[in-house]
Amino acid sequence: MIAPRLVLAVVGALLCGACAAAPVAPPAPPAATVQAREAPAPTTTTTATPPEKLRVLLTDDDGWEAGGITAMRAALLDAGYDVTLVAPSGNRSGAGATSDGRTELEEKRPGVYAVDGYPVDAVRAGLDLMRADPPDLVVSGTNLGHNSGTGIVESGTVGAAVTAARAGFPAIAASTHRGKTEDDCAPTAAYVTRLVRTLGPRLFAPGVVVNVNYPAGDRAEEVRVRDPLVVELDGEDMRVPTDGPDDDVDLLDDGVATLTQLDLGPEPSTTVVDRLRDVPA
């Protein structure tokens, strides 16, 4: 029989060992003070909406595949404009404002159409084609040869632009003095794109044609703003009742481009070309 005292001693020793083996949990640290933070506002990136492409109706009087209109189309497309070309099926130079009413379109390739009529008919066909989404600007040319002074009344290039202006669209007539090839006309086309970029989306009021004459092959030495001319259009009869220079051949031969405002209203003005005086040649 085991003595009671011995049993108590053994039990006490075992209890003390268990207490020593069990680690005592450290006191809980004081609760940290959490400072509430306001969630950052979501970042919003604002991207400016790019301006809509300027819609351009392009025509001429030398035919849809002539070097001048080919150079102009390439320059306008490279500048980012939306270009629809509608031009005569062949050379109709010297047609003035003549029309025979033939406006049936033949699509040559996407965005390029031919009309078996005159430049005026091509413009009318183009405006009808773009009726659902009208052009912002009509460009006629660039013509192979100059069209300046009072001699413009015989120009199909100018006749097409005047017809567009009469219909309520801003118009530019462009001609390349002594131009024969696409390369000859490339500087003219580049200058016209600079004019359009300077005018901006506001362009100018209907009833005005900006008439550009530019030397062939090389960049012009300068641009000379000429006296404005009033142009009257009575059916197919285009007239310049005011006095003006016969042409700008001497200036163009010297490498000087010319810029003339043609007004369909009763009084000549320079309100548009004055905005273009500082455009680099």
Task: List pLDDT tens digits, range 182-229.
Answer: 999 999 999 999 999 999 887 888 889 999 999 999 999 999 999 999
The percent of residues above 70 in pLDDT, for the chain, comes to 81
Of 183, 173, 170, 169, give the one whose Cα is nearest residue 151.
173
The percent of residues above 90 in pLDDT, for the chain, comes to 72
- Note the pLDDT of residue 10: 33
Higher-scoring residue by pLDDT: 265, 36: 265
Of 247, 242, 249, 250, give the one whose Cα is nearest residue 269.
242
pLDDT for residue 24 is more than 60:
no
Q: How far apart are CA 157 and CA 97, in angstroms?
A: 9
Q: What is the CA radius of gyration of the chain?
A: 39
- Note the pLDDT of residue 158: 97
pLDDT for residue 5 is more than 60:
no
User: Which of the residue ranges 16-25, 101-110, 182-191, 254-263 would you say has the lowest mean pLDDT?
Assistant: 16-25
pLDDT for residue 150 is more than 80:
yes
Region of residue 178 (phi > 0: left; psi between -120 and 50: alpha; otherwise: beta): left
Tokens (6 digits) for 40: 């950052």
pLDDT for residue 169 is more than 80:
yes
Mean per-residue pLDDT, 254-262:
96
pLDDT for residue 165 is more than 60:
yes
CATH architecture of 55-276: 3-Layer(aba) Sandwich (3.40)
Mean per-residue pLDDT, 6-19:
36
pLDDT for residue 45 is more than 70:
no
Confidence of residue 52 (pLDDT cuts 50, 70, 90): low
